Chains A and B, each alone.
Chain A
Amino acid sequence: MGYSPLQRSAEPSQERAPQLRAMVTDDQASVVSKTSYHRYVPWMVIGVIVVLWWVVSALHIFPRLALPSPGRVTRDAYVIATTGYNGYSLLDNIGASVTRIAVGFVAAIIVGVPIGFGMASSKIVFNAVDPLLQFLRPIPPLAYIPVMVIWFGVGQLSKFVLIFVCTIPIIIINAMSGAKNVQETRIRVAQVFGADRRQLFRYVILPSALPEIFTGMRVAIGVAWTCLVAAEMIAAQTGLGAIILTAGNELRMGVVFVGIILIGVIGYLMELFIRTVEQRMIPWKGKA
């Protein structure tokens, strides 16, 4: 056999690497390049929105009370950042909200993922949990408030539990779906090599389910923030939701806007964090 099929697989040797690197085109490189204009698109969108906002508020189309100007909101933000609000510093307020979200959300993952896996692997567990899950899902967070107060008091616990209850269905459903949708041949591969149940779970089912678990986490972190204001309606002294509620009652719309913007920004940062972890843990997502 004059020609070996193996030779086709020969790839460029190390010495040629710099040459090859030079051949990578700009649009291929933009994935890593910091100079690509794609990176500025989000900032341009924000810029356009702020300008529009400024124009609309300067024209006094709406009463000043309803739509504070960007300058007013910036001043309010500065005041809150330097002197705090409700007698607590801005960092304390942010810290309070982030803590509530983090505790409720992490607890939902720790409890929800195993339940989802249990539902995927056992009909009994599925039939036991599914009705409860589907029953709880459509209930709005606000409806829980009286129950939470009476069961868990007006302290931190009731806020943790509210965020936990609102996010856990999403986590459970995604973990279950991820564990159920494992490709048949991948299970067969493990069976051929004599994998026991534990090995099958560790090497095939868990990694197969990770992409959907991450999707669930990304949806759930958003839902957690939407529950925050409800959670902080429970006699909260601190937190971004509490700021919004108090300022709203005092008709200080500038402060309300500061709270809204902060929730949006922090929620976005958390989403970016989960996305980064996701890319680290499952670089193969969507490619296999």
Chain B
Amino acid sequence: MIELHGVSKVFPAPNARSEPVMAVSKVDMTIEDGEFVTVVGPSGCGKTTILNMIAGFERPSQGDILLDGEPVLKPGPERAVVFQQPSLLPWMTVVDNIAFGLTLREGKRGVDRTRLDGTLETMGLKNFASHYPYQLSGGMQQRAAIARALITDPAILLMDEPFGALDAQTRSDMQRFLLLVWTELQHTVLFVTHDVEEAILLADRVLIMSPRPGRIAATIRITLARPRHWDMVMDRDFNDYKRKVMKVLRPQ
């Protein structure tokens, strides 16, 4: 379980003429184990800052972040991150990239090959194991990045607009793929996006953020049946949710 208590983040002024910026203001939130939570908001609303603080890349200016009751102080493998760019290491093959977390923890010899092969199979990357990242499509690279994050059994998967850089068709494929994997593994996910449909389609709960200073303006629980299908976006229930979210994002 992840808890945020009164978390604020202030970035110092870049120069003498400007003011410090309050990116996130007094955010409280709880993410239960096994829950799929999406955070949606306009760009610059501080949603990535929240994710970076949970990941441990940045420290809150105020407030506490707790993982199972323990304060988060620095990055760690129990909070795996998938970035907007796949950020695979270009000097490693796909299989070495996926095994990266295991290699760091257990050394090159300690990596469980059967486990690795299984992951490659599930991720549809079996025939690309010894390719280099630049030889893969954007969607496949992002799948490898997800595989790299999941193979270390993290307590929570933090995803920072992971499909934002992909074309519409690939993004839709990746959403279904992520749901498929999630249905099997039932891991906790915090997924940041600016795409309202994506936020609703994936989530158990959508947190809607207001722009600067970033606050959680509303929380909407999504009770659409699982497994979710792509054509759900045309259902009335789905559009009701969409209207609710849009109303918070654009009050007029």
Contacts and interface: CB of A to CB of B under 8 A. Distances in A.
B81 A5 contact: no
A283 interface: yes
B104 to A, nearest CB: 5
A8 B173 contact: yes
Contacts of B104: 190, 193-195, 199, 203
Given A190-B104, A199-B104, A284 B134 contact: yes
A282 interface: yes
B87 A207 contact: no
A192 interface: yes
A186 B89 contact: yes
Interface string B72-86: 001111011101010
A11 B127 contact: yes
B127 A192 contact: no
A134 interface: no
A14 to B, nearest CB: 9
Contacts of A6: 124, 177, 180
Given A194-B104, A203-B100, A287 B77 contact: no
Nearest to A11: B127
Chain A interface residue count: which class?
Answer: 20 to 34
Interface in A186-236: 186, 188-195, 199, 203-204, 207, 210
B176 A192 contact: no
Contacts of A287: 90, 134
Contact of B133 (A5, A204, A282, A284): A284
A193 B77 contact: yes
Nearest to A189: B87
Contacts of A194: 75-77, 104-105
Contacts of B173: 5, 8
B91 A282 contact: yes
Chain B interface residue count: which class?
Answer: 35 or more
A25 interface: no
Contacts of B174: 5
A185 interface: yes
A252 B110 CA distance: 68
A11 B125 CA distance: 10
A9 interface: yes
A139 interface: no
A207 B91 contact: yes
Interface string B172-183: 011011001000
Interface string B200-241: 000000000000000000000000000101000000000000
Scoring A11, A190, A192, A284 by chain B CB atoms within 10 A of each residue's CB, the highest score goes to A192
26 contacts: A1-B180, A4-B180, A5-B174, A8-B173, A9-B124, A9-B125, A183-B87, A186-B87, A186-B89, A190-B100, A190-B104, A191-B57, A191-B75, A192-B77, A192-B79, A192-B81, A194-B75, A195-B104, A203-B100, A203-B103, A203-B104, A207-B89, A210-B91, A282-B91, A288-B88, A288-B90
Interface of A: 1, 4-6, 8-11, 183, 185-186, 188-195, 199, 203-204, 207, 210, 282-284, 287-288
Interface of B: 55-57, 74-77, 79-81, 83, 85, 87-91, 100-101, 103-105, 124-125, 127-128, 132-134, 139-140, 143, 148-149, 152, 173-174, 176-177, 180, 227, 229
